[in-house]
Amino acid sequence: MNAKIANESVSEFLLLEFSAVRELQILHFSLFLVLYMVIVFGNLLIISAIAFDHHLHTPMYFFLMNLAIQDIGAVSVTIPKSMANSLMNIRHISYAGCISQVLSFFFFVSCDIALLTVMAYDRYVAICNPLQYEMVMNRAVCKKMVAGVWVAGILNAVMHTSATFATPFCSNIVNQFFCEVPQLLTLACSNLYLAEIGALVVSITFVFGCFVYIVVSYMHIFTAVLKIPSVQGRKKAFSTCIPHLVVFSVFCFTGCFAYLRPPSKTPSDLDFALTVMYSLVPPMFNPIIYSMRNKEIKNALSKLLSLRQSPLDISSRFVLKRYN
């Protein structure tokens, strides 16, 4: 069967069915809905806090805001379709929809990796070369870095999408809750899938390079931090560095393990757990980690959520001032 005939014969894919029991389908929908709302709401809080607090208009928080935007995008291309399928008791996703998922998901994930690396460089300059920080990390440079992140994400996404869907598929059953590349490769019926394996090797090499760069950067950072005489200064430096390192480590190790491990041709709890770990856990915990370990974010969030300046309070103060 040639590639053209094979691809034309697959007009849609069937995603993972969590259960044939209607009650469990509704439970899956409810759990994913809660998870999705937590991720979107948490990241929107981070975006709003940074946007409305001028004290946070610095390179570090500019990058953090972009990370939050990318996290919302990454979960928005996977979770809603899975929820809709469970709610409507269906499994299908169109061929074009599957392509869109792979392209969009790889774009946002690639951007996350690149941006986390840029954030490590930002922390390195801020802590190891503080006198040059404003000159090195000026607004124009930060915008160019973010633009480079998005361009790298687009190029990586196009490479993987093209390599994956150049492969003829002999089946349309995807054993995952979205169109994940390792699962799509198990459906290939020719050696053309080697092109996508090559693309995965390139991406994993890139991720490993980013990981090594971040580790080396943090070795220099921690060495510099330990030389800070003030305990408060060391604590502040660690509070901005450790969350970033934790987030990247979880994301990197679970993602690489999921893609390097040979996927099974039948539904696997381990495959599902790994996919959830690298695709949903980091976007959910990013806002929590960064807000819990960062006093500036805490203060901005408290201002954003504070009711002390509600219209009732303002009107009450006006009345008291008028009659006193």
Instruction: Return the pLDDT at 105.
Output: 94
pLDDT-above-70 percentage for the chain = 85
Distance from C-alpha of 259 to C-alpha of 312, rounded to nearest angstrom:
55
Predicted confidence band at 317 (pLDDT cuts at 50, 70, 90)? very low
Instruction: Return the pLDDT at 320.
Output: 37
- 3-state secondary structure (DSSP) of residue 94: strand
- Is residue 183 predicted with pLDDT exceeding 80? yes
DSSP 55-75: GG-SHHHHHHHHHHHHHHHHH
- Is residue 257 predicted with pLDDT exceeding 90? no
Distance from C-alpha of 17 to C-alpha of 173, rounded to nearest angstrom:
10
Predicted confidence band at 41 (pLDDT cuts at 50, 70, 90)? very high
Lowest mean pLDDT among 89-103, 110-124, 210-224: 210-224
Give the residue with greater pLDDT, 248 vs 133.
133
Mean pLDDT across the chain? 82
pLDDT-above-90 percentage for the chain = 34
Predicted confidence band at 4 (pLDDT cuts at 50, 70, 90)? very low
49 touches 41 (CB < 8 A): no
Residue 127, amino acid: I
286 touches 43 (CB < 8 A): yes
| Angle subtended at Cα 51 by Cα 46 and Cα 57, rounded to the nearest 5 degrees | 105
Q: Which of 200, 207, 212, 204 is nearest to 114 (CA)?
A: 207
Q: Given its phi and psi angles, is residue 312 left (phi above 0), alpha (psi -120 to 50 degrees) or beta?
A: alpha
Distance from C-alpha of 92 to C-alpha of 294, rounded to nearest angstrom:
43
- 3-state secondary structure (DSSP) of residue 273: helix
Q: pLDDT for 158-182, tens place per residue?
A: 988 988 888 788 889 998 899 988 8
Domain residue spans of the chain:
3-323
Distance from C-alpha of 156 to C-alpha of 170, rounded to nearest angstrom:
26
Give the residue with greater pLDDT, 40 vs 316.
40
Q: Which of 33, 14, 35, 37 is nearest to 25 (CA)?
A: 33
Cα→Cα distances 214→159, 179, 207, 244, 258, Å = 25, 30, 10, 10, 21
Instruction: Return the pLDDT at 62.
Output: 93
Instruction: Return the pLDDT at 311.
Output: 46
Assigned token pair, 162: 């093209």
291 touches 47 (CB < 8 A): no
Cα→Cα distances 220→67, 145, 195, 226, 291, Å = 24, 22, 38, 10, 25
Distance from C-alpha of 220 to C-alpha of 222, rounded to nearest angstrom:
6
Distance from C-alpha of 113 to C-alpha of 115, rounded to nearest angstrom:
6
Torsion of CA 67, 240, 214, 203, to 10 degrees: -20
Query: What are the two backbone dihedrals, phi and then psi, of residue 188, each rounded to the nearest 5 degrees?
Result: -65, 140
Q: pLDDT for 226-236, tens place per residue?
A: 887 777 767 76
Instruction: Return the pLDDT at 143.
Output: 94
- Its CATH architecture, for the domain 3-323, is Up-down Bundle (1.20)
